[in-house]
Structure 1
Amino acid sequence: MKDRENYLETLYQAEEVLTNVGNEYTLSLVNSRLSEEYKRAQDYDKALFYMNKTLEYGEKSGAHSVTTVALHGIGSVYYDLHDYATALDYFRKAEKAALNQKILLKPIFRDYILLFGRLNEPDSVEKYVYAYQALNDSLVSEKTIQAVADLQAKYDSEKQEKEIAILNLENEKIEHELDQLSQKNQIDLLNYRQSRIENENFRQSIELAKVEQESQKSRIEVLILNEEIHKQALEHEKKIQRLMYIGFVIIFLALLVTTYSLSLWYRNKKKKEEAQLKQTAAELSRQLMETHMKALNFQLNPHFIFNCVQTVEYLLKESRTEESMDSLKKLSNLIRLMLESMSKKEISLEQELKIVRLYMDLEKKRYIMSFNYTIKVDDTLDPEATLVPPLILQPFVENSIKHGFAGRDKGNEILITIHPEHNNLLCEITDNGVGFFAGRQAKAPVSGYKKESLGLKLIRDRLNVINQMNNTCSSFTIVDLLTEDNKTKGTRVSLYLPYISAA
């Protein structure tokens, strides 16, 4: 403990002296030593402080080895702090700064192995174990090659000296045959040197064998470490597979229960909705039938039938037998078609127009005033396949005849046009009478006026029921047509029905 305190005191003194003299390189080495001492003492804040000072010098001076050592040292401190993500970041920076200097990369690779072991990443551990082994073998090979080169140079030098010595001895023997004793001594000296060379070669061979033995020992340790890592990886994989199987079973059971619960809920909801829909449909059908019956009672009023019979009687008295028979036949057909239509939700447009034609033909016979009618159906429509509510047009035609043409003897016209518009069927009934609103203001209420109002109300009620049943927007509007000097020249009814095709 005392020796460490003395060592730290010496380092502080060296730091102060080097700071004063401006020797930054040596100062960086001292800071590195101080960081290592504080790391051993687990004072990590001071360890990081001094290692960062070393890093500042390395980056400023461009000394890659200093920068590499500093970055590696900072990463080691964070490793001891268990901040493995930050440690990994600094190790990668140190590896990049090492610029493939093997002596600097070796401790970095060793710490990679420890770090990825902590992170439980066996693949990365295996990768850097092989990298560390390859780097270690490379360093050993370089040392071996250098040692062999040194031995070869030394051997060549000694061999050259021997050859020179032998030549000298031969020359001396020729020149000084008497100096045999001296020559023998020289030969003994050379033999002695040769023995030393052989002894040196043998010693170096032993050292090389020791190096090879250490290398083999390192390989064995790496293999043992790899085997342990592989074993841990297999155990980890089995554990993950067990957890995945358990999780899959739990999820499957949860999905099964959820699906069954949702199925029961949906089935109960569907039954309730079906019951509610059936109840709503029954109520709407009942309302529609009541509305139909009210409309039929209104349209087939006794007054209309009595007038038609009177018209037939009048024609018979006038001996207009064919006309009376024709009128009677049309009345019979009209009543039959109306009664048939009232039992249906929709009838064909062809049948609806047939009812309107029969009605207008009978009305022309009843009234003294004459009127003409025209019916135009768009070419794109198929009257037999297009469906409309039964007896929907007749009340509007009746209003035109009874009220629009009141007090007019001739020149009366009714135009019925039918054509598709977007998703609707637009039916327009136009007359050139006194006008709907103008006629109501000019006349006091008379017999039949309330029936007309009731007829329009029944149509509106029928359209409301149809809209509820089919989720549509059926409606009608009545407007008076005006001349340029703002005088009434007729009435137009615009009836919007859902476009339904039986095709």
Structure 2
Amino acid sequence: MKYLLKYSILLGFLFLSSHLFAQQHAETTADKEEVSFIVKGSVVESDTRKPITNVQISVNGGAYTTTNLSGDFRIQVKKGDELTIAHKDIKTVFYTIKDDERITVEVKPTTEVDEAVYKRKVSLKPFNSVIDSAQVYLKKDAEKSILFITEALAQSNSTNQNAEAYEVLADVYMQWKQYDLAISNYKISLQNNRLNEVVLKLAKAYYKNKDYQESLQTYQSIKESSLSNYQKTEYYEGLGDVYTKIIQLDTAISNYKKGLSIAEKHLIKPKITDLNSKIGEAYNASGKLNEANSYFENALDLAAQENKKRAVEEKVKVADFQNDNMAYENEIQLRKEAIEEISELETDTLMDNETALTLQKQNYKIGNAYYQQQDYKNAIPYLEKSIEEADNKEDLLVKKDAVRKLSETYRDAGNYTEALETYKTYQETVDALYAKMEQEITQAARFNKSIAEKQNRITSLESDRALTQTNYQLTIEQSKRQKLIIYSLFGGVLLLLIVAYVMYKYIKQQKLANNLLALKSLRSQMNPHFIFNALNSVNSFIASNDERTANRYLSDFSQLMRAVLENSEQDFIPLQKEIELLELYTQLEHFRFKDKFDYSINVAENVAVNQFQIPPMLLQPYIENAVWHGLRYKEEKGKLEISINQNSKDEITIAIIDDGIGREKSKALKTENQKKQNSKGMNNIKKRVAILNEMYKDKVDVFIDNYQAQGDQGTKVVVTLKKD
């Protein structure tokens, strides 16, 4: 379990570190792109620092807002936009945006001075200075950013400042993929000050956390008329994203089109491109390929007008669309163009391995497209290029996929020697990938622990602030001492309960992630183990110069291997598919040992095979043990029987019975070296069953016993499977 926990933590760390890497390199090219951001500021009287309310703040791009009671404002802009600050009592001020630092407008009434004094600067107030520092480190160093937020909360003296601090804290967690913590802190921010921008962020955080109903309800709680034009575009885009995830594609398309209409009307160019692309994806998912193709073409043309990186991103996305619809020639052409553009981009900035814009990924996908067309001659060079680029970039994930696809290409092309050698390279790559992951587990664990400690420190700080305020009130109003103490204790208990609930939910999510990673890891071990044993069978035929038999066996084996690999990513598959795999596998074993046993597979008529799900490759190791360790050593011809019966509406049993030599005799025949080694297949099955039962409440039960008391005892394995 400790081993599985390490891998789960590692995946989270890899995801976070790769995202940080991408953000750092994105900053090096930010000056070349039109990036929208929120600028915050305030309008105050220069002498008294008194806030001025209802000052009109507008942008030449169309965004508009006014200052609140505290004189503060925030507005969506991009570099180069011109701000217009207007009010009846001050002279209109114009300012061109240069970056995203806080701005302060200091003015005097027009009756006292002819010109308004406008100064752009980071506010000298401690809170604003510290919160700005937190935003600077938001994308670079999560721990340092949280430390600044902690300091800002300690200096906060208003609900508006509390709201801003918790909003920035939630932004940090969103940046680093800690979506449950982001949700909690956005909610706290909204309790202090309800802003549409923060509500939109909360809805997006729910969406990222896969809480789609909560996300939808949050979007629907927003009054559309109170949103700016940019926020309306984000609002409809967010609704479209949620409806896409819950497979309400017509509604998703409708909302995307509403957002697109607003973006086109107010010239919000990046959103126009994004929404055309998302509408294309939604039409593709709903099977309307002509409409999808039209919007993808629009997105391609618009992206080409923005910048090189955005253009190649859209080109890759359209290539994926062509792949989905088996238009491989168009896909290949787009990916070849993308490779040339990616090569040019890499001269200016280094692409991290997480992004789709890498040479190794595009070469791999071109090779795969040629493979799908059975053009193995052209597929092989691109797959080899992908492997070479993956080696240069130390991208073991892509190398693993490319090497496996290259092995399949050699196999289908009839070059079985290269296929086998390449598959050995695939196994070595998988081992190297796991070794690399283990080296980074400690860092990932330390990062998560540090984040949790800092969140607890902030929670503790708020608790201390509450207690301090209570003590102050007690000194002023002695008559309310007992009541205030009770309220304080109640609040403390409630706060602890909330923290406990948040931690419980976080631990539960981590446990689920650990189990899913463990299952995936065990499946990835099962497939090489099974394929290696089967290839040994092919090798034995070749060794005995029985080439014709080997070719027949290899043909059937390739069909079985393809089916196994197709199911390898699934936790459960329909029982009907598993039965088909068992029939094919048992037929192959009988083909090799036909003089050793006969077999039968019996499915009772009352078994609803389409209504039950079963973990893939669950039964194969038991059949393999029956043949290789029981029936193979039997002196006379044995029998293998596989029977499937339905005991009740929600339960079936699968019995695997052989009349072989039995477990005790088989154990006695093993060499000393074999006795020291455990069966990988059986050990993996035990671990998988244990994890599945933990996740799905005793869904699978396995019972193993001797089949008969005398003679060759044989073995009986009974697998009980329950419906969800």
| Structure of greater Rg | 1
TM-score (norm 2): 0.30
TM-score (norm 1): 0.43
